[in-house]
């Protein structure tokens, strides 16, 4: 048997006692009467919420323990936008440190691995932390950097460093 509706709304959305609209509420906010919905729907809603929370918790745990993939600069693809990767290469030229109003706000260098070169940049607090820790790469040094891949306006792929500790420098 089809449910009666008031202007397209299911009859179950109205209080069985006072006939006011209560939507998905289990108890009428006007007269405190129980809704006409079966108890199994209440259980289903709470279990769906519980499974959702458990699912998000599993995703967070697996994301934390996942190892960041090591990618060669020549292996970058456009579909890797915002992907977190690790790259190793030789610094092509001394790093450029940009300043604004006497404060470090940008640092960039290019790494090469024989296949292709990739520009690596750190901004704001990350650049300041790298300069303070004397982690400014020089030409010829071997660098391993971990960061996010971004595509510039010119279409070239770059790496953005989000943490100063994600860069290790090995002098040759």
Q: pLDDT for 87-134, tens place per residue?
A: 999 999 999 999 888 888 899 999 998 878 899 999 999 999 999 998
**pLDDT given at position 112:** 92
Structure token pair of residue 147? 């960061």
Structural domain spans, the chain? 5-64, 73-170
Mean pLDDT of 32-40: 74
Fold classified for 73-170: OB fold (Dihydrolipoamide Acetyltransferase, E2P) (2.40.50)
- C-alpha separations of 79 from 62, 74, 76, 120, 151 in Å: 22, 14, 8, 18, 10
**pLDDT given at position 129:** 92
Predicted structure pTM score: 0.63
């Amino acid at each position: 048997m089809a449910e009666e509706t008031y202007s397209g709304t299911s009859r179950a959305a109205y209080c069985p006692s006072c006939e006011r609209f209560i939507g998905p509420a289990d108890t009428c906010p006007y007269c405190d009467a129980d809704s006409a919905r079966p108890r199994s729907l209440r259980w289903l809603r709470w279990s769906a919420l519980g499974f959702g929370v458990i699912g998000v918790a599993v995703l967070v745990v697996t994301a934390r323990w996942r190892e960041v993939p090591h990618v060669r600069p020549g292996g970058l693809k456009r579909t890797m936008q915002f992907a977190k990767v690790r790259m190793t290469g030789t610094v092509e030229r001394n790093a450029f440190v940009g300043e604004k109003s006497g404060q470090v706000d940008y640092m960039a260098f290019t790494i090469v691995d024989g296949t292709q070169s990739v520009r690596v940049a750190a901004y704001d607090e990350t650049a300041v932390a790298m300069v303070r820790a004397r982690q400014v790469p020089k030409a010829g040094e071997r660098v391993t950097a971990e960061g996010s891949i971004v595509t510039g306006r010119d279409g070239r792929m770059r790496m953005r460093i989000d943490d100063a500790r994600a860069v290790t420098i090995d002098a040759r």
